[in-house]
Copies of this chain bind each other. A is one copy, B any other.
Amino acid sequence: MQLYSVSQLLKQENKLPEVEVKGWVRTFRANRFIALNDGSTLNNIQCVVDFENMEEAVLKRITTGAALHIKGELVESQGKGQAVEIIVSELEVLGDSDPEAYPIQPKKHSFEFLREHAHLRTRTNTFSAVMRLRSALSYAIHKYFNDHGFYYMHTPIITGSDAEGAGEMFKVTKLDAKNPPINGNGKVDYSKDFFGKETNLTVSGQLEAETYAMSLGKVYTFGPTFRAENSNTSRHLSEFWMIEPEVAFMDLPGNMDLAEDFMKYVLNYVLEHNRDDLDFLEQRLLNEEKTKPQAERSDMALIEKLRFVIDNNFKRVSYTEAIDILRNCKPNKKKKFKFPIEEWGIDLQSEHERFLVEKHFKCPVILFDYPANIKAFYMRLNDDGKTVRAMDILFPGIGEIVGGSQREERLEVLKEKMAALDIPEEELWWYLDLRKYGTAVHSGFGLGFERLVMFVTGMGNIRDVIPYPRTPQNAEF
Taking a contact as CB atoms under 8 Å apart, the answer to whether B128 and A216 are in contact is yes
Q: Which residue of B lies closest to A477 (CB)?
A: B430
Distance between Cα atoms of A84 and B437 in the complex (Å): 28
Taking a contact as CB atoms under 8 Å apart, the answer to whether A156 and B438 are in contact is no
Name the one of B97, B156, B468 contacting A468, with C-beta atoms under 8 angstroms. Answer: B156
For residue A67, CB closer than 8 A to chain B, the reply is yes
Question: Assuming A155-B468, A217-B38, A430-B119, is B194 touching A188 (CB within 8 A)?
Answer: no
Distance between Cα atoms of A311 and B189 in the complex (Å): 54
Min CB distance A28 to B, Å, is: 13
Distance between Cα atoms of A120 and B214 in the complex (Å): 9
Taking a contact as CB atoms under 8 Å apart, the answer to whether A149 and B437 are in contact is no
Taking a contact as CB atoms under 8 Å apart, the answer to whether A157 and B157 are in contact is yes
Find chain B residues with CB under 8 A from A172 CB: 170-172, 201
Find chain B residues with CB under 8 A from A372 CB: none
Taking a contact as CB atoms under 8 Å apart, the answer to whether B138 and A152 are in contact is yes
Taking a contact as CB atoms under 8 Å apart, the answer to whether B171 and A177 are in contact is yes
Find chain B residues with CB under 8 A from A431 CB: 119
For residue A418, CB closer than 8 A to chain B, the reply is no
Taking a contact as CB atoms under 8 Å apart, the answer to whether A249 and B171 are in contact is no
Interface residues on A, range: 35 or more
Identical subunits present: 2
Q: Which of A145-187 contact B (CB under 8 A)?
A: 146, 149, 151-161, 168, 170-175, 177-178, 180, 182, 187
Question: Assuming A5-B217, A65-B437, A436-B98, is B212 touching A122 (CB within 8 A)?
Answer: yes
Question: Assuming A39-B216, A101-B436, A175-B177, is B139 touching A472 (CB within 8 A)?
Answer: no
Min CB distance A20 to B, Å, is: 10
Taking a contact as CB atoms under 8 Å apart, the answer to whether A158 and B475 are in contact is yes
Find chain B residues with CB under 8 A from A187 CB: 178
Distance between Cα atoms of A160 and B470 in the complex (Å): 10
Q: Which residue of B lies closest to A161 (CB)?
A: B477
Q: Which of A119, A180, A208, A472 has the most CB of B within 10 A?
A: A119
For residue A474, CB closer than 8 A to chain B, the reply is yes
For residue A197, CB closer than 8 A to chain B, the reply is yes
For residue A373, CB closer than 8 A to chain B, the reply is no
Find chain B residues with CB under 8 A from A476 CB: 160
Contact with B along A1-36 (1 / 0, CB 8 A): 000010100000000000000111100000000000
Min CB distance A220 to B, Å, is: 9
For residue A111, CB closer than 8 A to chain B, the reply is no
Name the one of B5, B154, B177, B438 contacting A67, with C-beta atoms under 8 angstroms. Answer: B438
Taking a contact as CB atoms under 8 Å apart, the answer to whether B177 and A174 are in contact is no
Find chain B residues with CB under 8 A from A119 CB: 208, 211, 430-431, 433-434
Taking a contact as CB atoms under 8 Å apart, the answer to whether A474 and B195 are in contact is yes
A38-B248, A171-B174 are known; give 8 further A-B pairs, CB within 8 A.
Answer: A66-B438, A67-B439, A94-B438, A120-B211, A138-B142, A157-B226, A177-B180, A194-B472
- A-side residues, CB < 8 A to B, are 5, 7, 22-25, 38-40, 65-67, 94-98, 101-104, 119-120, 122-123, 128, 131-132, 134-135, 138-139, 142-143, 146, 149, 151-161, 168, 170-175, 177-178, 180, 182, 187-188, 194-197, 199, 201, 208, 211-212, 215-218, 223-224, 226, 228, 230, 238-239, 241, 248-249, 409, 430-431, 433-441, 466-468, 470, 472-477
Q: What are 5 of the A-B contact pairs (CB < 8 Å)?
A: A135-B153, A139-B142, A154-B224, A178-B187, A194-B238
